Amino acid sequence: MKVLYNGKIITFNVEQPYIDNGAIVIENGAIKDLGITQQILSKYKNAELYNLENRYVIPGFINTHMHLYSTFARGFGFGGASPYTFKEILEQIWWKLDKLLDTEEEIYYSALMPAIEGLKSGTTTIIDHHASFGLIDGSLDILEKALKDVQIRGVLAYETSDRWGKELSQKSIRENERYIKKEKDKDFFNALFGLHASFTLENDTLEEVASIGNSLNVGFHIHVAEGIEDVEHAQRVANKRTVERLNDFGILKRDTLAIHCININEKEIEILRQTETTVIHNPESNMNNGVGVAPILEMDKKGILIGLGTDGYTPSMIESVKVAYILPKLHHRDPRVGSDLARRMLFENNASIANRFFNRELGVIKVGAYADLVVLDYNPPTPLDENNFFFHLIFGIRDNAVKDVFVHGELLVKDQKLTKIDEVEVSKKSQEVAQKFWRKF
């Protein structure tokens, strides 16, 4: 049993939102008790003590859409490629990369490094969408091992696509099915059925994955209308738009994560609402790819649950939420919009999404929830409490304010350094593996 004491605890629990000079009792990976430091210390006299030194404590961040496999693209020029359209970006960069990922070592280190970076910036749970068409069978186990070695939680899926032909498409389906059925530690791992996007999935494939996924009672993890190509394809093959086509096959439902949803109209928004499909917003990636801005304000007004991810652009949720806060104001030329939605996406909505997959609650500091905690080394220039913390996060707090991170009650980051992994050695090894991988191009 551990007691973290002498902290300023921002709980994100409406019943007890803020505890000044607070303490948290941790046992078996969960929060056993919390309250005022003096009362907790007198109650748990034999516990292991950890002095928070009057720092702020918040729940760990959750990334609801990540591509860990994209790591080895960082710093690589792809032969001087200069793609213009979204499909050209896929063809000249990402599809080349995922086809050449063909060793366990490449998959492992491409996942390990961003998991470490995410953890050091306060991310304790990742919902990942994986692709390695050079090595499909067992690839999700390799991903799981990387996250297990870092000791963070993950919801994993493999990207099913017909773009490389039916043989690899079938292997992708089998990998999803195998991992979904695999016995997993539901405190740390779960699964979704991964699909790339409507425009790389043929009708027979959509029929098959819908049948398998729905029979296994699992949601899908799929990119939706990210680029205009997705819309044009659906209109060409089905005389319908992307959301309509996917809905016809039974892909859209409460546990499905529809990623991006940029090029959609009012009718499609209504379908997303009716099917209770969850949408994940990835503002930095969308800006980088030049694909547009998702109508998140319109979807939010309809009551659609919208989460926040990074799409592999960054491991940092702090970075992502800052852009999510600013982008609607620029897009609508209205500084009044988007603030509350950005806050809800990061804290409330991401927690609601992740809570579907694990045995206990995430994203909140309360009795019974997982002890996933971030300790911030931040000295605010103005008063800070639960009511204005979000604005301190937007305008003051950076990744380097993350001092300590606990996952499942274990101290994994202390003074901004990993306690269980030699990150310098991991970085050296990752660079060696990446260098060999780059030579394949």
DSSP string covering 98-120? HHH--SHHHHHHHHHHHHHHHHH
- What residues have CB less than 8 Å from 145, skipping those under 6 apart? 108
pLDDT of residue 80: 84
Q: By C-alpha distance, which of 370, 362, 358 is closest to 32?
A: 370
What pLDDT tens digit does each residue of the chain (441 aa) get?
999 999 999 999 999 999 999 999 999 999 999 999 999 999 999 999 999 999 999 999 999 999 999 999 999 988 888 999 999 999 999 999 999 999 999 999 999 999 999 999 999 999 999 999 999 999 999 999 999 999 999 999 999 999 999 999 999 999 999 999 999 999 999 999 999 999 999 999 999 999 999 999 999 999 999 999 999 999 999 999 999 999 999 999 999 999 999 999 999 999 999 999 999 999 999 999 999 999 999 999 999 999 999 999 999 999 999 999 999 999 999 999 999 999 999 999 999 999 999 999 999 999 999 999 999 999 999 999 999 999 999 999 999 999 999 999 999 999 999 999 999 999 999 999 999 999 999
d(CA 181, CA 173): 12
What amino acid occupies position 386?
A: E
Tokens of 153: 């939680």
pLDDT of residue 81: 86
**Are 99 and 164 spatial neighbours (Cβ–Cβ below 8 Å)?**
yes
306 forms beta bridges with 279
- For the chain, give the longest Cα–Cα distance: 70
**Are 267 and 288 spatial neighbours (Cβ–Cβ below 8 Å)?**
no
Would you put residue 122 in left (φ > 0), alpha (ψ -120 to 50) or beta?
Answer: left
Tokens of 419: 């306690």
Q: By C-alpha distance, which of 122, 70, 116, 144 is closest to 422?
A: 116
**Are 181 and 141 spatial neighbours (Cβ–Cβ below 8 Å)?**
no
pLDDT of residue 437: 97
Set out the domains of the chain in order of their start, with CATH numbers. 2-60+360-418 (2.30.40.10), 66-354 (3.20.20.140)
**Are 31 and 78 spatial neighbours (Cβ–Cβ below 8 Å)?**
no
d(CA 433, CA 354): 32
d(CA 308, CA 285): 12
pLDDT of residue 79: 83
Q: By C-alpha distance, which of 277, 213, 265 is closest to 235?
A: 265
Tokens of 262: 């940029």
pLDDT of residue 74: 96
**Are 220 and 192 spatial neighbours (Cβ–Cβ below 8 Å)?**
yes
What amino acid occupies position 189?
A: F
Measured CA distances, 97 to 71, 77, 212, 245, 341 (Å):
10, 12, 28, 28, 34
**Are 375 and 404 spatial neighbours (Cβ–Cβ below 8 Å)?**
yes
Measured CA distances, 166 to 159, 161, 280 (Å):
14, 9, 28
d(CA 281, CA 258): 9
- What residues have CB less than 8 Å from 42, skipping those under 6 apart? none
d(CA 66, CA 282): 9
Residues written for the chain: 441
What amino acid occupies position 276?
A: E
Q: By C-alpha distance, which of 64, 67, 106 is closest to 90?
A: 67
* pTM as predicted: 0.98
For residue 233, the tally of other CB atoms under 10 A from its CB is 19
